[in-house]
Structure 1
Amino acid sequence: MRIAIFGKQFGEVFYERCSTLLKHLALAKAEMIIHKPFYDFLVGPVGLNPKVAGFFKDHDDLPDCEMMFSIGGDGTFLDAVTMVRNRQIPIVGINSGRLGFLADISQEELPLAVAEIMEGQFVVRELDLLKLETSIPCFGDLDFALNEMAVQKRDSSSMITIHTYLNGDFLNSYWADGLIVSTSTGSTAYSLSVGGPIMHPASQNFIINPIAPHNLTVRPLVVPNSFELKLRIEARGGKFLASLDSRSCILDESVELKVRKADFSVPVVERIGKTFYSTLRSKLMWGADKRN
């Protein structure tokens, strides 16, 4: 089995676990193709010497693989998506830290989880993405997001106005610090932190969620992801910040934004018996009584 390994630098607490992971993959006779900067980190600070079949640096030189292991947190997982894009390579999220909804295999679960995956005991589910269209190529060919697209003010003292349309019909002019358009997967990310609802990743919806709106009656709105959203921004100084997951750029208020469902999805590996509900209970400590 050919496996791509993608990761970012992590702390010493994960050094031994990472070594165990690589040993398990080697014992399973996996053909490992490793992201070159991550390999340099493993050989240097971590002090490992993994046997590899090759390297890749970006999406263009990533060879065909049966799956990709993303080692890090949710941010690393989002970067792994930019490597895979529409290649339909299932991604396994290995969490080198603590909280992680996308990188949901914890350090404690690692040996058993890797063994199960290498034995084919897993399911693959598809996650929808959103696509941003603008009149200028601000994000190049990385014009998609797994979690969310957001527009925000640049000036710390003034709000922006976001004129929002759904399928050509006027919805609202949000007077706020910004606006988040989240996928169902992204409902546990930025949108959640500003009071948005949690949605199952299989829900085919967008969440339109204002950031610190001036009118307190303005609440998050859930719409089908088959809708097209159009945004026109008014900002003091004439510029605003737009972001797709962890990527951002500054745009002029003359630029109109269109958001719709992307024409490809991302496959992710899910362990058998490990569901979105168990992830919620674990990560958000639902049902846990900290008084004991």
Structure 2
Amino acid sequence: MKIAIHGRNFNESARPFIESMFKELARREIDVQLSREFRIFLDQQGVEHKSTSVYEKPVDLFDARLVVSMGGDGTLLETISHVGARQIPAIGINVGRLGFLATVSPERISDMITALDNGQFRIDERTLVAIDNVDLFDGLNFGLNDFTITKTDTSSMITVHTYLNDEFLNSYWADGLIISTPTGSTGYSLSCGGPVLVPHSQNFIVTPISPHNLNVRPLVVEDTAVLRLEVKSRSNNFLVSLDARSRVVDENTQLTIRKAHFRARLIKMLDDSFLNTLRSKLSWGLDMRN
């Protein structure tokens, strides 16, 4: 079996579990490829991994059966961008903070390897949001969580003229606008008042960021919808983000947003439940009476 591993730095408390993971992978003679930045970090920290293969760009990723993300949710989002349209299944080990998407704790790495080797897992397919009409991110014009437009300065708001399936929806006078997938509904959109969607809802959420008009609220639309955005700003530009990737764009750039033609495939352990994660990570419904 071949696997790829991408990661960032980790706390010293996670070190024994990570060293144990590489020893177990070597014992099972599993072929491992590391992202270059993670390989450099492991070498600097003196973590033995016995991996001779590295990838620097997504195109260098070898024919892995699966990809392991080692970090927090941000690292898993980055890993999904490496996989892209190849749709290699990915699993996240949480050596970061929240771990809403990366749900495998370091203590369970050994159980995870056994489950992966024995095929005791399920594949959870997730919708991706994509920029359809311009290439802003060198071919990585998709995101698992959300697409976001925000202002580039700290003063004036921007105006986002929004069209839904070529019909005028609204002009959002706000600090920005989020178009979130169901996966991203527990992220930035939630902090701006958006609803939580279960992962397989076939919808997007259009959520304004600090809207000037208080009667403007988040809107749930079908994920087959096409959203066209025209932005006006006093600074003549705005910031576009897909998950953790961002860049400044000229206000003359119109953007078309739709569902990507491929999906992210997340590996979930058989006892991993979205509702359990919702309660444990976000204290959903926490009540002393329960």
What is aligned with 2:243? 245
| C-alpha distance in 2 between matches for 1:54 and 1:63 | 9
The Cα of 1:114 is off from its aligned counterpart by 2.8
8 Å contact kept, 1:90–1:124: yes
**Paired residue for 1:216, among 211, 214, 217?**
214
| C-alpha distance in 2 between matches for 1:246 and 1:27 | 35
| C-alpha distance in 2 between matches for 1:220 and 1:287 | 21
The one-letter amino acid paired with 2:80 is V
The Cα of 1:7 is off from its aligned counterpart by 0.7
What is aligned with 2:91? 92
8 Å contact kept, 2:147–2:242: yes
| C-alpha distance in 2 between matches for 1:215 and 1:286 | 29
Number of residue equivalences: 289
8 Å contact kept, 2:22–2:48: no
8 Å contact kept, 2:205–2:219: yes
What is aligned with 1:9? 9
The Cα of 1:126 is off from its aligned counterpart by 1.0
What is aligned with 2:267? 269
The one-letter amino acid paired with 2:26 is A
Cα deviation digits, residues 201-260 of structure 1 (max 9, x gap):
111111000000011111110001100000111111211111111111111111101000
The Cα of 1:134 is off from its aligned counterpart by 4.2
- Asked if 1:254 corresponds to 2:231, the answer is no
Two-structure CA RMSD over aligned residues (Å): 1.6
When structure 1 is superposed on structure 2, of 247-256 and 205-214 the one drifting more is: 247-256
The one-letter amino acid paired with 1:31 is D
8 Å contact kept, 1:98–1:106: no
| C-alpha distance in 2 between matches for 1:140 and 1:176 | 28
- Asked if 1:113 corresponds to 2:77, the answer is no
The DSSP-based 3-state class of the residue aligned with 1:13 is helix
When structure 1 is superposed on structure 2, of 280-289 and 15-24 the one drifting more is: 280-289
| C-alpha distance in 2 between matches for 1:29 and 1:289 | 48
**Paired residue for 1:229, among 227, 230, 247?**
227
The DSSP-based 3-state class of the residue aligned with 1:263 is coil
Cα deviation digits, residues 144-182 of structure 1 (max 9, x gap):
111111111112111111111100111111110000001
**TM-score normalized by structure 2?**
0.95
| C-alpha distance in 2 between matches for 1:55 and 1:157 | 44
8 Å contact kept, 2:178–2:209: yes
Return 5+ residue gaps in structure 1 as ranges. Answer: none
8 Å contact kept, 2:73–2:96: no
Return 5+ residue gaps in structure 2 as ranges. Answer: none
What is aligned with 1:22? 22
The DSSP-based 3-state class of the residue aligned with 1:63 is coil
- Asked if 1:62 corresponds to 2:61, the answer is yes
Superposed structure 1 runs of 4+ greater than 4 Å apart: 287-291
The DSSP-based 3-state class of the residue aligned with 2:41 is helix
8 Å contact kept, 2:151–2:157: yes
The one-letter amino acid paired with 2:176 is G
What is aligned with 1:32? 32
What is aligned with 2:190? 192
The DSSP-based 3-state class of the residue aligned with 2:248 is strand
What is aligned with 2:73? 74
The DSSP-based 3-state class of the residue aligned with 2:252 is coil
